[in-house]
């Protein structure tokens, strides 16, 4: 696939999100956006000004939405409670709380006079369902266990080159792929799901890739014949496993349908692939220009804890 440097809007990290119903929310302020950088130049985008504070109008900045999604990744509520919350705030009840649900929860909090942070903590849950406030679970129950199990454990630093399902990759990337499959099977209900690849790593023969697949950690994954929801889940699972991943060929670009993925922290990745990881952290689409991540609203940016040191400076 063509070299896809990312460019995107970015916001400085927001303060920690907490349930604070007694606190009056400050008035909204507009948050400025930052420019991106051009294909092939890797000129780092300027830092954006500080994100606007949470407001009682039910609006959160992109950084605050991302932080709330991260909270749910670290404190899974379980599919049953998640679906119940989603029905309450009138969004699709699929059992996964991502950016769309977070924004709907924030609007519900504002409408009911609660502190707006998009997090369904004890106070919000009590207000929603008329029950005494209880602490949400801190350990992932049932179907949420796979993502949590991998969150703090990095893959082994094994860069032995292997052939896997018809393409070349290193053992570290293979372990991350198997993690993503486990997440798809356990957390999203795709029983026996297996990724299929159209291009692997250590491949310099495809000129259109412009070096992104020349080193380790780079994969192109087939999506033809998959439903929209399945592709959404594939992107989410890959991101949760530690890949910078984007769907292609779904109307936001002119590329053939597939998912492009780069393993975060791969020491053998090409320079071009490393720039894509930086752009993913900044929220870009991985293509020419300054368009935002097209998968953010359905997949969020669930960077696992072990991968944060590689991208923290760019978030």
For the cut 90, the answer to whether the pLDDT of residue 13 exceeds it is no
How does residue 290 score in pLDDT terms, banded at 50, 70 and 90? low
How does residue 41 score in pLDDT terms, banded at 50, 70 and 90? very low
pLDDT tens string 52-62: 343 445 688 88
* Dihedral (Cα; 102, 77, 231, 247), 10-degree rounding: 50
pLDDT of residue 76: 74
How many CB atoms neighbour CB 38 within 10 A?
12
Half-sphere exposure of 114 (CA within 13 A, CB side): 22
Higher pLDDT, 8 or 112: 112
Give the phi and the psi of residue 69 in degrees, each rounded to 5.
Answer: -60, -40
pLDDT of residue 14: 41
How does residue 19 score in pLDDT terms, banded at 50, 70 and 90? very low
Nearest Cα residue to 277 out of 244, 310, 245? 244
Domain range annotation of the chain = 145-314
pLDDT of residue 209: 65
The predicted model scores a pTM of: 0.60
């Amino acid at each position: 696939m063509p070299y896809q440097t990312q460019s995107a809007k970015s916001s400085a990290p927001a303060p920690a999100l907490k349930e604070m119903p007694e606190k009056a929310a400050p008035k909204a302020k507009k948050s400025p956006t930052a420019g991106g950088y051009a294909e092939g130049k890797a000129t780092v985008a300027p830092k954006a000004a500080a994100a606007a504070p949470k407001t009682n109008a039910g609006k959160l900045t992109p950084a605050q939405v991302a932080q709330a999604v991260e909270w749910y990744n670290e404190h899974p509520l379980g599919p049953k409670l998640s679906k119940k919350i989603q029905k309450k705030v009138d969004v699709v009840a699929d059992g996964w709380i991502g950016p769309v649900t977070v924004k709907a929860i924030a609007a519900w909090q504002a409408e009911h006079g609660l502190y707006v942070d998009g997090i369904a903590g004890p106070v919000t849950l009590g207000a929603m369902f008329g029950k005494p406030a209880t602490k949400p679970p801190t350990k992932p129950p049932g179907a949420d266990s796979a993502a949590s199990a991998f969150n703090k454990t990095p893959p082994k630093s094994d860069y032995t080159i292997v052939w896997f399902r018809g393409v070349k990759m290193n053992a570290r990337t293979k372990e991350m792929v198997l993690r993503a499959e486990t997440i798809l099977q356990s957390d999203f209900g795709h029983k026996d799901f297996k990724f299929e690849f159209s291009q692997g790593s250590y491949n310099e023969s495809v000129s259109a890739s412009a070096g992104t697949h020349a080193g380790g950690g780079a994969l192109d994954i087939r999506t033809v014949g998959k439903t929209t929801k399945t592709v959404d889940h594939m992107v989410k699972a890959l991101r949760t496993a530690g890949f910078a991943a984007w769907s292609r060929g779904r109307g936001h670009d002119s590329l053939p349908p597939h998912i492009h993925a780069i393993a975060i922290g791969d020491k053998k990745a090409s320079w071009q692939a490393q720039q894509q990881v930086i752009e993913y952290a900044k929220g870009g689409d991985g293509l020419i220009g300054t368009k935002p991540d097209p998968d953010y609203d359905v997949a969020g940016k669930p960077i696992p804890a072990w991968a944060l040191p590689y991208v923290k400076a760019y978030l």
